[in-house]
C-alpha cells in the first residue's frame, strides 16, 4: 500500500486499521483484511520537483515555442477564452491563472473581456463552490467563469462538421474569442491517446452531440488497441477527430 509519512496504522487482533490523509478531510480510515501486513511508508522520488511553480511558468511563457508570447497575441479590446481542465485532474490551475491573467492585464486586456471555462465535457458540472476551489477566490470574483451546459444547444456555436460527418459545436465564449488559452495536463487517455491540448475544447467545451461523435471515434481501434491508449496521435482515431474539429476554430 502506498502511503505517506503521516499515515498511521493500528492493529486489533487480526485486523489492521490504516489512517491516510485524504484531501480536505482529516483522514480516510481503511480496515485491512486479516493477514494483510501493516501499511508501510513509501517515500516519493522528488527529483526534478519545481520549487516555485509561478516563477517556472513565467519563465516558460517568456520562452514560448512555435508561437509568439501571449502578450504579442493580444491588445486592448481583445477577447480571451481561458479553458482549464476539471477538478478530476491534478493540474495546478489556481497557481497558473494569476500568472496568465497578470500578463493579459499588462497587455491591456480587461477582466470583462476574459472568460474562464472548465472543460467538463460530460463530467460532473462545476458548481460555484467547486469553481472557487478550482480557479481561486480572487479569480472567481473578478472574472466570468463557466461550466458549459452540455445540453443547451443555444449556448453553442455550430462551426461545421468533421470529415466523418460529426457536428462541431463549441461553447460560445470559447468559439467567439480572439485568443484561446488552454491550461491542462498531458496524461495518457484510454481513447484519445493523450489528454490535454485541444481535448480541453473537444470535447471539454463542446455540445453533447459533438462530444458523443468524438467519443464514438475513439471506439474504433481497428482491431489494434495499440492505436488508442498513449499512442502516436498520428494514428489515433479520436485524436485525429479532435484535430479535424480544431481546424474549424
What is the rounded CA–CA span in Å between residue 143 and residue 110?
Answer: 10
Please name the residues in contact with 111: beta carbons below 8 A apart, sequence gap of 6 or more: 101, 105, 142, 143
Instruction: Look at residue 49 in the predicted model and tell me its pLDDT.
Output: 79
In angstroms, the CA 134 to CA 246 distance is 25
Q: What is the pLDDT of residue 3?
A: 38
For cell 491508449, what's the residue? 229
- Cα separation, 237 vs 224, whole angstroms: 11
Reported as a single tens digit per residue, the pLDDT across 87-128 is 888 899 999 999 999 999 999 999 999 999 999 888 888 999
Residues (pLDDT < 50) of the chain are: 1-5
Of residues 247, 222, 185, the one with CA closest to residue 236: 222
Question: Which pLDDT belongs to residue 212?
Answer: 84
Distance CA 103, CA 74 (A): 10
Q: Are 86 and 105 in contact (CB under 8 A)?
A: no
Q: 146 to each of 64, 171, 204, 209, 249, how far by Cα in Å?
A: 27, 10, 12, 19, 19
Q: Rounded distance, CA 138 to CA 129, Å?
A: 13
Amino acid at each position: 500500500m502506498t502511503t505517506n509519512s503521516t499515515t498511521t496504522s493500528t492493529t486489533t487482533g487480526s485486523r489492521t486499521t490504516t489512517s491516510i490523509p485524504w484531501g480536505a478531510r482529516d483522514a480516510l480510515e481503511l480496515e485491512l483484511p486479516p493477514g494483510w501486513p501493516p501499511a508501510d511508508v513509501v517515500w516519493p522520488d522528488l527529483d526534478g520537483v519545481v520549487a516555485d511553480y509561478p516563477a517556472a511558468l513565467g519563465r516558460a511563457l517568456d520562452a514560448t515555442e512555435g508561437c509568439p508570447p501571449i502578450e504579442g497575441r493580444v491588445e486592448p479590446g481583445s477577447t480571451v477564452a481561458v479553458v482549464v481542465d476539471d477538478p478530476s485532474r491534478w493540474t495546478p490551475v489556481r497557481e497558473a491563472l494569476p500568472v496568465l491573467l497578470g500578463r493579459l492585464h499588462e497587455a491591456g486586456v480587461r477582466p470583462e473581456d476574459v472568460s474562464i471555462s472548465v472543460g467538463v465535457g460530460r463530467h460532473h458540472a462545476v458548481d460555484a463552490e467547486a469553481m472557487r476551489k478550482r480557479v481561486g477566490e480572487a479569480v472567481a470574483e473578478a472574472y466570468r467563469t463557466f461550466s458549459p451546459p452540455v445540453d443547451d444547444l443555444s449556448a453553442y456555436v455550430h462551426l461545421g462538421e468533421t470529415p466523418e460527418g460529426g457536428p462541431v459545436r463549441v461553447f460560445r465564449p470559447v468559439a467567439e474569442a480572439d485568443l484561446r488559452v488552454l491550461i491542462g495536463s498531458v496524461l495518457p487517455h484510454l481513447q484519445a491517446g493523450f489528454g490535454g491540448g485541444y481535448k480541453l475544447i473537444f470535447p471539454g467545451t463542446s455540445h453533447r452531440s459533438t462530444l458523443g461523435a468524438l467519443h464514438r471515434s475513439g471506439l474504433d481501434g481497428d482491431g489494434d488497441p495499440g492505436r488508442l491508449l498513449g499512442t502516436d496521435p498520428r494514428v489515433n482515431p479520436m485524436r485525429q477527430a479532435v484535430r479535424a474539429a480544431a481546424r474549424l476554430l
